[in-house]
Structure 1
Amino acid sequence: MKLVRFLMKLNNETVSIELKNGTIVHGTITGVDISMNTHLKTVKLSLKGKNPVSLDHLSVRGNNIRYYILPDSLNLETLLVEETPRVKPKKPTAGRPLGRGRGRGRGRGRGRGR
């Protein structure tokens, strides 16, 4: 399972996120998108070397995240199970046998140079 798919299941969980610039964000996840952008509510933002700031909502761009600190009470076994295993669709052959090349036809003669 991809990490981002796991994070997308963490709605309404309170987490801490450390950013690459040293800032620590503590809040409740409202959503995570496929680019790992994380949207939080009731946020406490602690910039490195400054006093914490409280915010109602905050979105963090995914490439700025160093790591997530998850709560100890989180049940990882249930979250890491994939609900629907993916089945690769078979390509239809439409009754034609698998052959060689790209089907450019047959019997076009030998190199006439055009």
Structure 2
Amino acid sequence: MDERSNRRRFSDEQKRAIVQKMEEPGVDVAQVCRRHDVATSMVFRWRVEFGLTARKAPQLAMVVLADGAANEPPALAALRKLVQRPDGMAAIELADWRRVFAPAGATPAAVKP
């Protein structure tokens, strides 16, 4: 008996339906594959077969910063409150948003990242 005889066969219509379901926004590819008992690699191979290899460009979201310095990421503002300046040290703000502590009187130019 041929060991391959237990392999499932999918028609082009079935393949296309599974691939289309996978392309819907917010759909988990792994769940679709489990539901249809097919390997994720196979579904991605079908995508290529149907000419769907190009992915959609990601969409960017507008972000508005609130309650902080102008253009400061909110996470950085929260960390600022957690990390206090040690005694005898000055907080130096670097151009890449990093904050370092150096001896009092030090300048950003004197601090090498």
Q: Would you call these one fold, judging by a TM-score over 0.5?
A: no
> Which has more radius of gyration?
2
TM-score, structure 2 as length reference: 0.30
Higher strand residue share: 1
TM-score, structure 1 as length reference: 0.30
Higher helix residue share: 2
